[in-house]
Structure 1
């Protein structure tokens, strides 16, 4: 009887000890059953890697509202102060006059000043990208792909085989882009400005 009592006492002690045991750490199988964010599949990862980066619009100095540090509508004094470097050209009156950067930037841009304000700028090189992606050297077909909804094709004044693609502003009162296209169907120059100045075919001549 004494031996039987000892066995019963030992069983009770083990039972009580089992009730106080800390929860076990879930096994790998148990963790897999817990809802979690599913890892990307190889196909999804590949698709994300091949997707084009979002267009931030940062294509260079040319903008619909200005060029580099300059803003369309700025006064002549504001233009000179913002550009910081000397500009070639004189503006003795309120009529149309052209200013150019000096030195290595001389062929980058031509600034049109009328009424002592910046009203337009012209680009004739293939390094600078126009707002929306157009540039010198592109074909008419490429331009029409970039500007499918707002581009109006008009005859060129001096080249009977040439054209102008005049890109209307997205919002009322905004600036326009005019691409000059030669008889071979390629862009030779473009300009940004508001009417009527953007339509001056001879510039300030």
Structure 2
């Protein structure tokens, strides 16, 4: 009888203890099994910290202060060291001359060296985007939308129907952009450089 009473008492204790149990936190497996509501969740805004990184990843090599690993004002030795790959072009004393990446096409980037320093670079293809968004093939109207406050329209030296859009420097002493616009109204080339070299119409010649 004592053994039977002990068993009954134990059953009562367990029953009462079950009424006082705290709610358990669902496991990850249980949460995964819960059906997803049919209404889609609102889109999550991108993390503001990742936005600059995304912009940097999409940015091209052309900048107002240089191109790729090169900085305007760098010495000829610094240019050759930073570019790493071979650059073609004669270096006659301090005279102005052009350097072109080995194997580059004629319309690809060309670096202007004067006084043994990088003072300008020129582009003649639509694959490379200028600082601010301009590129070969755009119209004057498109450029003026991109550069609304700093663009001056000037005559083309050789094409009476053409123009130049000279984009003034954003800061004192900064580089300028000059877009050459053909008689059809579209950009044929552009260049970034310091003054006065950015205004050389025939390049070094």
For Structure 1 versus Structure 2, the TM-score category normalised by the shorter chain is 0.7 to 0.9
Aligned pair in 2 of structure 1 residues 163, 44: CA closer, same or farther (>3 Å)?
farther
> Which deviations, in whole Å up to 9, do the C-alpha atoms of 1:121-151 show, x marking residues without a partner?
0000110000000000011111111111111
Q: State the secondary structure of the residue aligned to 2:55.
A: coil
Confirm or deny that 1:202 pairs with 2:192.
no
On the 8 A contact 1:138/1:186 being kept in 2, the answer is yes
Alignment of 1:4-153 (within 5 A): 45=43, 56=55, 58-104=58-104, 107-153=107-153
Aligned pair in 2 of structure 1 residues 145, 81: CA closer, same or farther (>3 Å)?
same
- Distance in structure 2 (CA, Å) of the matches to 1:184 and 1:106: 22
Report the structure number with the largest CA radius of gyration.
1
Aligned pair in 2 of structure 1 residues 133, 178: CA closer, same or farther (>3 Å)?
same
| 1:180 CA drift (Å) | 0.2
Q: State the secondary structure of the residue aligned to 1:173.
A: coil
1:154 matched residue in structure 2: 154
- Distance in structure 1 (CA, Å) of the matches to 2:101 and 2:194: 22
Q: TM-score, normalised by structure 2?
A: 0.74
1:4 matched residue in structure 2: none
| 1:83 CA drift (Å) | 1.1
On the 8 A contact 1:59/1:131 being kept in 2, the answer is no
Aligned pair in 2 of structure 1 residues 43, 169: CA closer, same or farther (>3 Å)?
farther
Work out the number of aligned pairs and report it.
Answer: 176
Aligned pair in 2 of structure 1 residues 23, 103: CA closer, same or farther (>3 Å)?
closer
Q: State the secondary structure of the residue aligned to 1:161.
A: coil
Where does the alignment leave 5 or more consecutive residues of structure 2 unmatched?
1-15, 25-38
On the 8 A contact 1:64/1:175 being kept in 2, the answer is yes
2:191 matched residue in structure 1: 191
Aligned pair in 2 of structure 1 residues 65, 145: CA closer, same or farther (>3 Å)?
same
On the 8 A contact 1:178/1:198 being kept in 2, the answer is yes
1:180 matched residue in structure 2: 180
Cα root mean square deviation, aligned: 3.0
Q: State the secondary structure of the residue aligned to 2:153.
A: strand
